[in-house]
Structure 1
Amino acid sequence: MAQQDAIERIDSGCHDSTDGVAGNKNEEMIKAGTLPFLVENLTRHDKLDAAFNRTFLATYTYFTSGSELLDHLVDRFDNTPPPSTIQTEIEQWSIHTIPLIRLRVVNILRQWLEHFWSEPKGPETDDLLHKMRLFVERVNSAAETPTQQLDLIIQRRISGQPYTKRSHPSISNPPKPILPRKLDKLQFIKIDAKEIARQLTILEAQTFSKIQRHEFLHKNWQKKTTPLVAPNVRWLIRHSNQLSNWVCGTVLAESDLKKRAQVVDHLVNVATTCHQLQNYSAVISILSGLESAPIYRLARTWAMVTERSCNLLRPLQAMIVSSQNYQAYRETLRVAVPPCIPFLGLFLKDLTFIEDGNPALTPEGMINFHKYSMLATTVQDVQRWKEAPYCLQPVPELQEYFTKQLHSAVELHEMWDKSCELEPKGRGLGNRPRDLYTPTGGMSASMVVACMVLDD
């Protein structure tokens, strides 16, 4: 990346930067820069770059601290023109430029506190908030910039009250649940596949909607701190693995060959409905269970699976084929309209590669802002699926049943002996009655990678 000339503006001194040109509109795309330059771009008087601002505020913890950021914003608010500026330009600066800069600073502080606050609870954060409060009081006394709303937000943060996001409009008339005859004696095979998919989707959506942006940053989902810094992402990882294990265990629980094939058929119907609900997390977890080694080897079972189920499985498998970096799955997500629950494994893999594969600083010692732009874009891709809620009705008895089933699921490596006991010859079977569908055997392993493995 070539080093370009530093940008000079009349509203500030000269700060080092490296810029690129995006598209045909000669729009600036900041690739790297010093912290003073990035803060200056954050609060420019002549341009509002909302995408840059979101990226900066979403990822600032990688290259600065909250206290240092506040210091730079205060300095920016108190900005003076360069010493060489002539008197007429100083007058123009005082009348037109500095009021806009100060308004930008106040707006950035408000955005930071409302939508991008990533500071941990503790004495240092309390000191930071009180420091902000003193700054606001100083600004108010000068009666230069309206800061009443900012002051209220700071007070709310100091008192520990979280910022309340705008709630989604209530959705009425969800589809009527398809209930089994006996809710007190539930059996998987007798529960309607569509309702199983709905209840699994509700369970995942409840936690997916709670994920905070910082849970995806700094590989927080891999950290076992107390309290956990990524509790919701870790819950979804564990849920995904448990669902896969439960699928495998549910198939192997049937000693009768015909009933075992019927369980596979039922699971395929569940996965198909999850796909229709755009719960791709559950789709991939169910397929992962069906493709696991203990199930993959059951040649007699797969020979008994209906042709209809085999035909339903093929497009689901094609959606998550690994060719061209999972292009088919990425395209599916790109055109999907919320609500949607994506499979997190691929996003966590992307985030890990971005973090590990890109330096924090450029060879010139500047902040590699291009790295943080990629991180912020990837996180935003996940966050946007939370924009709309599912219109589904929970059934407490079914949710409790599936929660217990998933929590009691054993690990895959413990199921191999059971599989060999049910069908000793496995894939070594000679002439099979038919071969309508051939599992690939662990097809999602490369998608999951180590990102979906919790070191508990």
Structure 2
Amino acid sequence: MDEVKKEKGIKCGTMPVLMDYLVDHNTDANTVDCFLAAFTAFTTADEIWSILENKYRHYRSNNIPPGKAKVLGFLWEWINQDLHRDFLARVKKSSSVFLYDELLRFIASFEDKETINKWKLHILKSAAARASRKERKVRLRTSDNLDMNNLSLSSNSGPIGGSAPIRRPTPNVLSAPLPAPPKRITMTLSTTTYNPISPTSSGSLLTEPSMSNIFGAVASEKVYEMNKVTFADIEPADAAKQLTLLESGIFQKINHTEFHHLNWKKEDGKKISPHILNLVDRFNTVSYWVSTEIVIQSELKERVNVLRKFIIIAEHLRDLGNYNGVMEIIAGLNSFVITRLQSTWAQTPQRYVTSFNDLNQLMESRSNYRDYRLHMRDRKLPVVPYLGVILRDVLFIEEGNKNYVGDSKEGIFNFEKIQLLGEVLSNVRRQQEVGYGFETIPALQNYFKTLISFPEEVLYKQSLMCEPNAASSGNSPAASSSEFNQSPSLSESQSTASSML
């Protein structure tokens, strides 16, 4: 049953037939991008490599240059997507360097030599050497300045043969260069001025910080001493930037394979999905820390001061695009041990209560996080997305769709599931490509890496000590204008990946 079934587009097929569709039928770039982001959840890189090599050999033996160009173009896109995942090192079982040779010749045809950087050639050279160890030796020499006119390929045998330098595009591959691969970059955004809303009540307990330059890589004017930092010392803008640097660093390390087969939920999740679970643990640590910092304040004035400060930090995090950080603070403030503190909320100026409700509305889970998703559509990079939404999407795709159509022995893959998963993972990859250009402040990094927080039982006892007679959270000022208890509460945020869903 080696066929592709179509109803308003491709639905399913064996892997060779799906590859025919992707390579030979001028499939749109988004479809190819989604497939490349998700295919390793369904098959292996070795199988895809083997299919591509067989296709190329067919086109070569039948003298079909356009077909050869399409295979090499697809392979080039694969490399562009997977460079930082050590793409070619994962193709371990290839018995021939034939396609490596053709790819190197293809790359050498580029007119824009800047697209051929040293580390990319190193990957190609290393992978070719590994694959050819048992078959033949491949020697790739490049000058220090990577002048591609001096690129030579020595061969003792094989389909190419000879060792003449490659000086111009060969007639059997694309003559025009493909776009350069996406690079992981650090971007410094332009300065944006923020005009804070003045509190409606008099006697402000906390001086409102200026949020000008919040997006720029501008050094903090405040000096922080290592191991002497307290929460009261930290400026909200500095807190948001340093938290964002930490969480962006973890998010950028997540490999797309960590999402496959719900790996983060398995017993060996820490081994196969280490960075996802690292970010989950980070989420819970920060959320408990937020609640802890509030309930350890015995004086009402200080509790209000700390609560307001966390709302301001959340505003900064939102403006920086760190939505995972926004949700961490919301979870901490929405926990029962905080929402029950009626006197604390009553003394919080309405400007901050309103802002808190707006943040809750943005991250509201109702209608499948509709407001958050709409907001993300218009958000420019860099961002740290809320991991819980990503895990939720992957969970629904995995549990709601089968890998195969019919009997799995027939090997008819559900292409729609591949594309659904690919859309999520390709979006994650795009978000990982841009980082933040903020200055790292070692003292604050150390502080946020070693946060102190209480467990739920201790938090509740501390909350009772703060306000023994406080009623349920339903009477708090924040609850009056927003159903913020709909958001994930701290009690729901246990140290497991399921707490992020």
Please confirm whether the aligned pair reaches a TM-score higher than 0.5, indicating the same fold.
Answer: yes
Query: What amino acid is the match of 2:487?
Result: M
How many residues align? The count is 410
Q: Distance in 1 between matches of 2:74 and 2:478?
A: 65
Aligned-pair CA distance for 1:336:
0.5
Residue matched to 1:216: 259
Residue matched to 1:63: 42
Residue matched to 2:419: 373
Match of 1:128 among 88, 93, 115: 93
Residue matched to 2:55: 76
Superposition pairs of residues 162-241 of structure 1, within 5 angstroms: 166-168=183-185, 171=188, 174-179=217-222, 185-223=228-266, 225=268, 228-241=271-284
The question of whether the paired residues in 1 share the 8 Å contact of 2:59 and 2:65 is answered with no
Superposition pairs of residues 296-375 of structure 1, within 5 angstroms: 296-363=339-406, 366-375=412-421
Q: TM (normalized to structure 2)?
A: 0.71
Q: Distance in 1 between matches of 2:124 and 2:93?
A: 10
Change (3 A) 1:72 1:294: same
Residue matched to 1:155: 125
SS at match of 1:209: helix
The question of whether the paired residues in 2 share the 8 Å contact of 1:298 and 1:426 is answered with yes
Aligned-pair CA distance for 1:347:
1.0
Aligned-pair CA distance for 1:31:
1.8
Q: Distance in 1 between matches of 2:435 and 2:85?
A: 28
Q: Distance in 1 between matches of 2:404 and 2:387?
A: 28
SS at match of 1:31: strand
Q: Does 1:47 align with 2:26?
A: yes
Deviation per CA, 1:32-56, whole angstroms, max 9, x where unpaired? 1122211211321x52532232233
Query: What amino acid is the match of 1:65?
Result: T
Change (3 A) 1:43 1:339: same
**Identity over the aligned pairs, expressed in percent?**
26
Q: Distance in 2 between matches of 1:361 and 1:310?
A: 50
Q: Does 1:384 align with 2:363?
A: no
Change (3 A) 1:308 1:159: farther
Change (3 A) 1:198 1:435: same
Deviation per CA, 1:253-281, whole angstroms, max 9, x where unpaired? 11122211211011111111111111111
Change (3 A) 1:273 1:146: closer
Change (3 A) 1:307 1:436: farther
The question of whether the paired residues in 1 share the 8 Å contact of 2:269 and 2:277 is answered with no
SS at match of 2:222: coil
Q: Distance in 2 between matches of 1:233 and 1:394?
A: 23
SS at match of 2:377: helix
Q: Distance in 2 between matches of 1:395 and 1:432?
A: 37
Aligned-pair CA distance for 1:318:
1.1
Q: Distance in 1 between matches of 2:466 and 2:56?
A: 73
Q: Distance in 1 between matches of 2:249 and 2:337?
A: 31
Residue matched to 1:101: 67
Match of 2:13 among 33, 49, 54: 33
The question of whether the paired residues in 1 share the 8 Å contact of 2:183 and 2:433 is answered with no
Change (3 A) 1:62 1:146: same
Aligned-pair CA distance for 1:232:
2.2
Change (3 A) 1:32 1:117: farther
Q: Distance in 2 between matches of 1:338 and 1:362?
A: 38
Residue matched to 1:17: 4
Change (3 A) 1:132 1:204: farther
Deviation per CA, 1:128-147, whole angstroms, max 9, x where unpaired? 14x2425546x69xx9x747
Q: Distance in 2 between matches of 1:429 and 1:154?
A: 60
Q: Distance in 2 between matches of 1:285 and 1:324?
A: 20
Aligned-pair CA distance for 1:326:
1.3
The question of whether the paired residues in 2 share the 8 Å contact of 1:346 and 1:448 is answered with no
Deviation per CA, 1:72-96, whole angstroms, max 9, x where unpaired? 2233223379xxxxxxxxxxx945x
Aligned-pair CA distance for 1:30:
1.8
The question of whether the paired residues in 2 share the 8 Å contact of 1:302 and 1:437 is answered with no
Aligned-pair CA distance for 1:418:
2.0
The question of whether the paired residues in 1 share the 8 Å contact of 2:286 and 2:329 is answered with yes
Q: Distance in 2 between matches of 1:429 and 1:374?
A: 39
Deviation per CA, 1:220-271, whole angstroms, max 9, x where unpaired? 3334549823322222111111110100111111112221121101111111
Q: Distance in 1 between matches of 2:477 and 2:46?
A: 70
Q: Distance in 1 between matches of 2:420 and 2:4?
A: 18
Deviation per CA, 1:294-325, whole angstroms, max 9, x where unpaired? 11211222122222211211211111222221
Q: Which runs of 5+ in 2 are unaligned?
A: 109-115, 131-180, 190-215
Superposition pairs of residues 416-431 of structure 1, within 5 angstroms: 416-427=460-471
Q: Distance in 2 between matches of 1:202 and 1:449?
A: 23
